[in-house]
Structure 1
Amino acid sequence: MKMKLLKVALILTVLLFGMQLPSVEAATYDGETTVNLNIRTKPSLSGTVVKTLPRGTKVEYGTYNQSWHKVYVNNRTYYASAQYIRKLSSTSNSLTTQSTTSTGVTTANLNIRVTSHRSATIVTTLKKGTEVKYAVHNSSWAKVYLNGKTYYAAKAYIAPKLTESNVERVDGYTNRDLKLFSERNQRSKVQKVLPKNTAVVSSKYNSSWSIVYLGNETYYTPTWGITPGELDTGVEKKDGYANRDLKLFSERNQRSKVQKVLPSNTAVVSSKYNSSWSIVYLGNETYYTPTAWISTSKTPTEPPTSTEPNDGLTQGYANRTVNLFGKTHQSSPIQLVLPKYTAVSYKAYNSSWSTVHIGSKVYYTASSWLTKGKAPAAPEASPKGTVYINTPGDVLNVRSKASLDSNVVGQLKHTTAVSHYGTVNGFHKIKYNGQDAYISSAFVMTTKPSTSTGTVIILDPGHGGKDPGALNGSLYEKTIVLDVTKRVEAYLRSKYDYNVRLTRSTDVYLTLGERVAAAKSLRGDLFVSMHVNAAGSSAAKGLETFYSSQSAHSSRSRVLASNIQSNLASKMSGMSNRGVKTANYYVITYNTMPSALVELGFISSPTDLTYLRSNTSRQRMAEGVAEGIAKYVQTYY
């Protein structure tokens, strides 16, 4: 019996000494994996593998027993084989002995903790932008030294303090649309987006992130989004100026949101994007604008407002009908028109332009339009054609000059035939009581109008004069719509004997307000504005008609637009039907009558362009619009 008890005791002793008893919980150490190391849920090879740390990964660990260590990952405790974790040499907590101590700045309101765990007690919170002394603790945490003591904080929210001596700023450009962040985290809020090919100044923060400098502001962005050096775009940038109030867009579409407006005559740097659009460069920003709105020459200068009598002036005369401008470019507004053989006092301004002095006023005109000496007797001009006054139930004022501000010298009745001598500033020149006089071109037509005083239809050809509208090479929107509008007018007159009036019958410029005012003064009952569309993509195509939901006549406007679109699409079955839409365009929102705006296809579409160039197709378009108008008139009048 004693022998059996002795054997049992020996066996228990062997078993006890053979077991790997857990040691007392030790302190946390900094270590490094020596192989690709499996991290498990318990200290056993049967424990679930949570993840595998690559060789050389820095870890925090504590001793569990002879074979296993506790490993702290993402604020949780796991286990790993002890033999594959190498302890790193410890560093002193003394601020004075920290060889890797750096000065940094907090990039967020930063919690300071007693240990390197998110569950650790918070000692204090440092405000964003606070300068701190710190050293790297591991891949996630930094040691922070405050008041002679060592604490811990998330390393991601401490940035090295930058000085001119330790930062190399490099010129470069964005190789894509570049997102700028306030933190080194692509899931954080985007502060700004720089377009592709924007010039930037940056410095490397680490292997993955760079700092971008915009004025006094700094941002973070992935380094791969910036290419060092100067962008070779192969684009020729030219100096020029805005020849009108210049709208700048972020897209090549005049219906998109206007980003900025530059006043007329503002100096700009631009490059051609295509035949219709240019790119405007403002600092680091780029925008799109129609090419026709920029003149590529030096910004014009203002002329002197007055001149001393006989101050080097030459006496001469106009050798043609002379336009006088306020600037030295012919796309600027015409201030005054002098008939041929008018005597003038002038002086050379440069090799191409002269200043013309009339009283205290000074204007610009082309030097080639003036001749020195006494003017010859002006030959009697021959009429250029006959027009008819189109003012049913009313009369048309005859004025002394081609301006609505000039004196009224007489009146002409509806249907009166008048010989004219050409057009000036939207007026026809005529003879009245043996003297030169002018009548508004908006109230005349080339065929004798109806004597009917019924429904008055106002047709508005869009753009005109200095405003070409949408472009495709040498084809202008203003030319297309004037042609189609005159065809609509002729069709409505010949088939229905309707009373039709145009806001413009020649290539003149009218503001949006002037178009609305003209429709009202012409006593219109309905208003139809004609346009051609354009888009940045050649895929956009088709016909569409708009009415305004904000108009006082939105209900009838919708019927008018629907009738036009239906008949237009029927006539042009080969074109895409984009339907009836609402838009608060000025001329259909603020008009005093039911109004619609017709888009006759996209000048930027190869498919639609074929129709827009064809006289046969233009006639069919005109008939479709006219029949839609006729259907509306027959319904309501």
Structure 2
Amino acid sequence: MKMKLVKIALILTVLLFGMQLPSVEAATYDGETTVNLNIRSTPSLSGTVVKTLPKGTKVKYGTYNQSWHKVYVNSRTYYASAQYIRKLSSPSSSLTTQSATSTGVTTENLNIRVTSHRAASIVTTLKKGTEVKYAVHNSSWAKVYLNGKTYYAAKMYIAPKLTDATVSRTEGYANREMKLFAMRSQSSAVQKVLPKHTVVTSSKYNSSWSTVYIGSATYYTPTAWITPGSLKPQIVKENGYANRELKLFVMRSQSSSVAKVLPINTAVVSSKYNSSWSTVYIGNATYYTPTAWISTSKTEIQPPTTTEPNDGLTQGYANRNVNLFGRTHQSSPVQLVLPKYTAVSYKSYNASWSTVHIGSKVYYTASSWLTAGKAPAAPEAAPKGTVYINTPGDVLNVRSQASLNSSVVGKLDHGTAVAYYATVNGFHKIKYNGKDAYVSSGFVSSSKPSESSGAVIVLDPGHGGKDPGALNGSLYEKTIVLDVSQRVEAYLRSKYGYTVRLTRSTDVYLTLDQRVAAAKSLRGDLFVSMHVNAAGSSAAKGLETFYSTRSAHSARSSVLASNIQSNLVGKMSGMSNRGVKTANYYVITYNTMPSALVELGFISSPTDLTYLRSDASRQRMAEGVAEGIAKYVQTYH
């Protein structure tokens, strides 16, 4: 019986002791909310918000875990974020271990050990900046409470966490574009970005980070990004003038939207924003424009936008080829170029610049480029050389302009020698009855032509002008084929006295239609188009000649192509023979005469490139093509 009583007593003692434990866990504290605080049904951010307590509300609360407190409202238990409740007094029932416990932050990556000894086992390592509950163990070690258990760590690497009660909030401003982070790490999510010079309220969290307060929300940012005190920008507004057509932008970028455009010499009020940009003030609105576009001198005189009689303009002339600018700076875009000796109306703008007035427009140029008075007669240009009219049995039209649509001012006989001054758009500029005139470059030659009335051979150097053709570095197809074509022309003229005409003798662009039309207008009897090949692989190489099976002259075209290929390969024994091939290229399909297209090798082949670069090889190529043409002419003409 006594044993039963002892057992019953022990059981009751254990039960009574066990009933005391919840009272320790449920210790109640007096606190105060430090922000407008959401009260939730569960200890989670996804928990339902029951209500929101205004900042400064007095509450009864108990500790739930490191992140959440139990909050007692209207005899019910809810949950709230622990960091936003400030303790006001000691709990109604507490443990000495709790009162000795503090909240701290690790100042380095910190090893947590099972005992207070450097040789003790490491349970885990907390990253720098981790918040921990801890109590002083001795002069070197602290007790650290993790997951309901007690461990140990070096006390020197734990700093007390600043609480709302000790936080000193200060006013300052962002000294750069300021990112606000969700956590004290620049790898965490960016919640907001504040422009430079934004006024902020903050408190120092630790030596590296500060807490930024916006309304009831808090964020984190590096302390170095905040300058304490108030920002007092020194804005100095200046009067000035737009020294060009002035674009006003909504942002400090010329790729942003243009809000307004002010005419040149509009008076503006502005202030320097930085070294490159100025703020322009129009009424209550502000815009941005490059500082270089505004002249701030108040003594400058706004030039008139139209030329009026008796307006003080000086009559003079350009003493060189004169660039006219839209503003007083030679790095600005050139609006117009006046040839030397052009008469101008101008007046001084400042010590270095003058305004030039042309109709209703005003430009700027260097004063030293202008001379007052009547311009002297421009010296007569010296001719570049002599050419001969090459129209056997016919005459050549002399035109007023470098165009087939311009008026005919005269005619020149075959073999006539004329001095030329320039080549323009496929025409040679000459003098006719003392005036400038033009003749088609396709009907002139550099040597006096023979009176032969045999076949007319039309050579077509491919590509030209804006179309370079195939290329390898600085070597262009258009350059190679013009050179070889001119060598073929010279060879056929000097050796056989043949009449040879080129669709282009200069670097001009012709369409495929224009090449076919030129062959017809040149009254050709056969047509040879010169090209250089290219391929995606450097292995492709060699010579080949094409004719079209769809041409009305395909039979003779085949003979022409075969003769050219045979003689070309004979002259260029070091190059591969790719043979005669058929292809319906436009210029050999739609021509009105027997036609062939020659490919003088691959510019993409290192082997062929050696020949294409060589003057000696180009001459042999020309001779091979020329001998093939001659063989054809001797057969059919």
TM tier relative to shorter chain: 0.3 to 0.5
Q: Using structure 1 for the length normalisation, give the TM-score.
A: 0.44
Q: Using structure 2 for the length normalisation, give the TM-score.
A: 0.44
Larger radius of gyration: 2
